[in-house]
Amino acid sequence: MLKRSKLNLALILMLAIAAVAVTARTPGTNPNEIVIANFSFEPATLTVKAGTTVTWVNRDDEPHTATANDKRFNSKTLDTGDRFSQKFDAPGVYNYYCALHPHMTGKIIVK
């Protein structure tokens, strides 16, 4: 009896750990959210319908920005945990980068 409950407990723990691991890997429930982590935008390319609001969230310890190449939008400083949202009405390709680390690049494709 004791053995079985121990086994069950172990199983529950394993499942719980697995669930946490899966959650941690998923960027978020919002498909229009871009996570900034490890000096990269994830996903680097996001395709959305016209009229969609896209949100960036900085999960890095370093500050970043989401700045359009043509400066059409600019998040300004995003410190750890900060968010920035931008609505995309017109179809097109919007290239952006981090103004502090310009090797970090991303793209929004609006259809």
Residue closer to other proteins, measured from CB, 16 or 39: 39
Q: How far is the CB of 65 from other proteins (least distance, A)?
A: 7
**What is the residue type of 100?**
L
78 Cβ partners below 8 Å, 6+ apart? 36, 56, 57, 58, 63, 64, 65, 66, 84
Instruction: State which of positions 35-74 bind other proteins (CB under 8 A).
Output: 38-40, 60-63, 65, 69
Footprint on this chain of other proteins (rule: CB under 8 A)? 38-40, 60-63, 65, 69, 76-77, 79-80, 95-97, 99-103, 105
